[in-house]
Structure 1
């Protein structure tokens, strides 16, 4: 059990789901929670912008082939695999769960865990900092656009002038403001990391509670059986396996060193729940966003379990990418 990363934050997320199911926000309380969620999303992206250091990121920017592989995996391979999974609907996945799978596939890579696992396994840490950071910066713009493309036929996301302005106001402007103010805020944020982590995670818990409350009130859970959820887990495990093998094989074909192969795998195979959840709250209707979030939340925990074990093995001297990718 000591090897399994049972993050207390995941337990907090599960507890939030239970509270939202038993005591969903209704009426005027739901209206207040919605306003608070909007403000929390703006704060999150402001902190993301202020936290990402351009100097640290650019230190690993020279390995352009590695970064191109990571971005291709994150924003090309994942969406293509998501579109290919359309054959699973509706026999395996409900329309809402499939929409969530598609959204998962256009979310950027994680920052903290990608860098942490890369460091633990002996990978190229400066390159991981750049790839993960740039993925999130690019994702602020690319994720809403790709979501509009891959979800165009589902009716879940519709882009209009109003929705574009909402995305700019809630995501892009706070992020840009954070980047602009980073020279003055960077030192203070470095001294108060624990407080900022609590703000980050508390804001995301609020997003989850509001989203799942709306789903409960709309009755979406009555349309999802335990069998469907097990099937979703199987689909997510297969998705992660395919991406891990694909990034491993591509890194070997490109002749990357062991540290660079490790970086490509960890940065190219993960998806950011911290960035994805607030984006989903902006892009999807309150009635559907609860189930749309579920694939991303499950995939997040699955990637932590698998990548933690891979990092542990490679740190102990195991083959960086077993010649299993052949």
Structure 2
């Protein structure tokens, strides 16, 4: 089958690789759509932290935001999965350690991460092997575009949950990229008053086109507003400290964005304001809730996808090139069948 393979820093190509076989408890999924995200770009450039620790080594087959149809199951796997449209969890724990036994497999020290960690092949390929325990069924109302947005949506949903939002809560989202906009859409669906802070004119204009009206820059932000929660979905090293300053006493800050270098936060600010800081790693635990939100129509992130390309165009996308004719959204999707 065809798969996109990163062979070294700034080099990737489409290769013919062996088709996956479903092992015990596993399924093979025919991939219909996959997303490209910042983690993929970091692996491509060589900047990904896992490359330094040895958790990721070249060659790498990326792709952890995906949907498709189950075409085969292995021994001991429920055959009712056959023919179902699915997405799935990126984080595959060992299943035996204390964290896995508590349902927190995304924190397992020995976990695989599909398309990212310890060599589990990713979804930028015609087929993908996945443990059946990681699968989430998609209803007919969740199409290919939405299906491949469930994984980033799960990260966003967990961020909204971590912020403790209730109807009427005022939340500031730092960074209107894919995750930040998903956070904003989900927070609004939960009845929150959403504010956005972005650096580029393009990102702010796109957010406004989605219907958000409370959008500012660092220079124009009204610092007299009390924010019950601040969610950092940026990659700006300054934002976690800013979040701690802007959140109201007793409020919450949620950290889902990652900068390329350490972000410094004065813990005196957290302590003296009695702030709760929440870190979010992965969509684990948020996938089914995201599917339900998308299926209900309460959240429709389709406009975030600006273009869909084939495997041959992935290297250019990872280099930061926008496909010809692409729309204004921040997300690029890949159809490996093209």
Shared fold by TM > 0.5? no
TM-score, length-scaled by structure 1? 0.24
TM-score (norm 2): 0.23
Bigger proportion of residues as helix: 1
Structure with the higher strand share, 1 or 2 = 2
Higher relative contact order at CA 8 Å, sep ≥6: structure 1 or structure 2? 1
